[in-house]
Amino acid sequence: MSIRPLKHVTPKIDPSAFADEECIIIGDVHIGANSSIWPYSVVRGDVNHIRIGHSTSIQDGSILHVSHKNASNPAGYPLIIGDQVTVGHRSILHGCIIGNRILVGMGSTIMDDVVVEDDVMIAANSLVTPGKRLVSGFLYAGSPARQKRPLTDDELESLTYMANNYVNLKNQYLAQENP
């Protein structure tokens, strides 16, 4: 794994988290307990900060980035990802806020200034355009993503199940690295 400080800021990774040796983590990044960053993912907190909560999985080939601070947007757009979030393979999250218990389907893109409330599923290959708000309890799909239907009780439960499944998997990887 390549952990790179930038501007004297080194990423902070909880000791219980897993970062694969083939991922890159740069700059002002905090990764919470029991979270995992899988192969070929890039987490680049170079011009703003990235915060990842606990029990969150960033799967293979995902790109996490931010937008810089400037005169028209003094705070820029950091990337904030909550707890128990499952980010599917090859997803792009850019300068957005992701709540708790979220599934970001494989190949999805979530752009600047998007807010995803808690308990949301985003279907594979969806595009969430800048400034959108995805309200809690729904499935979103498409390009651009649109609200499709309320989540079922089973789907809501599966959000926690998926997160816990990746916590268990990262524990297996950590146990193999540290016998």
pTM of the prediction? Answer: 0.96
What is the set of domains in the chain, with CATH numbers?
Answer: 2-177 (2.160.10.10)
**Who wins on pLDDT, 81 or 178?**
81
| pLDDT over threshold 70, residue 179 | no
What's the average model confidence in pLDDT over 54-67?
Answer: 98
Q: What is the pLDDT, as a whole number, of residue 5?
A: 92
| pLDDT over threshold 90, residue 1 | no
| Summary mean pLDDT of the chain | 97
Yes or no: say if 39 and 23 are a contact pair by the CB < 8 Å rule: yes
What's the average model confidence in pLDDT over 46-52?
Answer: 97
